[in-house]
């Protein structure tokens, strides 16, 4: 019998979903490994939430298939998934402690109070364990909802806009915990509009637009593919007259030099080193994920 670790955390194969004869997800495929943070990104209405709902069996695909932890999804499989929906929902009259106890029980998990208190301490909310949810700030409620997502020790964690409503301090705290979960070999799907968080946290991404996959793969490879043929240079000498440079854009602390198709960055550096002056900075121009997003999708977020 194969060990569970031999299976992907999720395999989504050619899934299709239509509403009123309109395809909102059109033959999308991707896989997710254990110990990986996977970014699911795209503009509003692209089909991200529909994909997530099919993964957790809230809705069924019209065609295609989905395997979670090497199996078709079942009630047992669902109990090994942690899902943080974009639309939050906690029972306002319950205390924090009772909320987490109740929500863990829904996953057939008998979580001891010691684990609940350990998690509350991790997010600096242990002193608030006996407060009702309605007494908490929005950010505190968001952290409680996140703890409810992971309290039953799921193998697959799906986070839909997890940083919404958090201040910068708690955003950093949540990112630390997400990275800790990856180090514990958890598989994590991160769906968010905050491209800087995706760029910081994710190993691979799937970008969808109008229900179709438009970018899929390792973030480092995607950024390399969309890299401009240009270099960043901070040079104390003259930059004019460099062979192979087609355009120069001067910034506050450096210049960006655009190269023709035949010129490499090494050739530019060699020319600079032969001139009088000091090369204080030299590097390849790499676009941000936000820039790639806007270029691929073709419209503003």
Any domain includes 296: no
With 0.85 as the threshold, say if the pTM is over it. no
Question: What integer pLDDT is reported at residue 4 of this predicted model?
Answer: 44
**Token pair 């079942």: residue:** 74
Indicate whether 160 and 16 sit together in one domain: yes
Any domain includes 56: yes
Q: Which residues of the chain have pLDDT under 50?
A: 1-5, 300-301
> What domain range is 202 assigned to?
4-218
Range 88-91, long-range pairs (CB < 8 A, 24+ positions): 88/141, 88/142, 88/145, 90/133, 90/141, 90/144, 90/145, 90/148, 91/133
Indicate whether 210 and 259 sit together in one domain: no
Q: How many domains does the chain have?
A: 2
Indicate whether 24 and 122 sit together in one domain: yes
Indicate whether 174 and 276 sit together in one domain: no
Indicate whether 141 and 273 sit together in one domain: no
Helix axis angle for 96-105 and 113-122, nearest 10°, is 120
Indicate whether 115 and 260 sit together in one domain: no
Q: Is 175 exposed, middle or buried (0-12, 13-18, 19+ CB in 10 A)?
A: middle
Indicate whether 208 and 61 sit together in one domain: yes
Indicate whether 214 and 140 sit together in one domain: yes
Indicate whether 89 and 116 sit together in one domain: yes
Indicate whether 140 and 161 sit together in one domain: yes
């Amino acid at each position: 019998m194969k060990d569970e670790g031999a299976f992907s955390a999720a395999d989504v194969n050619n899934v299709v979903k239509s509403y009123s004869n309109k395809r909102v997800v059109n033959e999308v495929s991707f896989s997710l490994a254990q110990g990986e943070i996977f970014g699911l990104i795209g503009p509003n209405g692209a089909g991200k939430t529909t994909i997530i709902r099919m993964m957790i069996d809230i809705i069924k695909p019209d065609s295609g298939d989905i395997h979670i932890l090497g199996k078709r999804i079942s009630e047992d499989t669902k109990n090994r998934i942690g899902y943080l929906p974009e639309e939050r929902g906690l029972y306002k009259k319950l205390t924090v402690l009772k909320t987490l106890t109740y929500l863990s029980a829904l996953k057939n998990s008998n979580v001891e109070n010691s684990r609940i208190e350990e998690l509350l301490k991790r997010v600096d909310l242990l002193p608030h364990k006996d407060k009702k949810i309605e007494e908490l700030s929005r950010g505190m409620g968001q952290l409680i909802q996140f703890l409810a997502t992971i309290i039953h020790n799921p193998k697959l964690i799906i986070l839909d806009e997890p940083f919404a409503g958090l201040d910068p301090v708690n955003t950093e705290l949540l990112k630390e915990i997400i990275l800790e979960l990856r180090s514990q070999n958890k598989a994590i799907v991160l769906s968010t509009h905050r491209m800087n968080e995706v760029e910081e946290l994710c190993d691979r991404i799937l970008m969808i637009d109008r229900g179709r996959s438009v970018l899929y793969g390792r973030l480092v490879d995607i950024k390399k593919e969309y890299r401009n043929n240009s270099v960043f240079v901070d040079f104390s000498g003259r930059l004019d007259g460099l062979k192979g440079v087609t355009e120069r854009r001067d910034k506050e602390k450096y210049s960006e030099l655009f190269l023709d198709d035949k010129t490499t960055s090494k050739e530019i550096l060699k020319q600079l080193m032969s001139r009088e002056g000091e090369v204080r900075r030299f590097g390849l121009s790499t676009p941000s994920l936000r820039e790639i997003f806007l270029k691929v999708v073709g419209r503003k977020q």
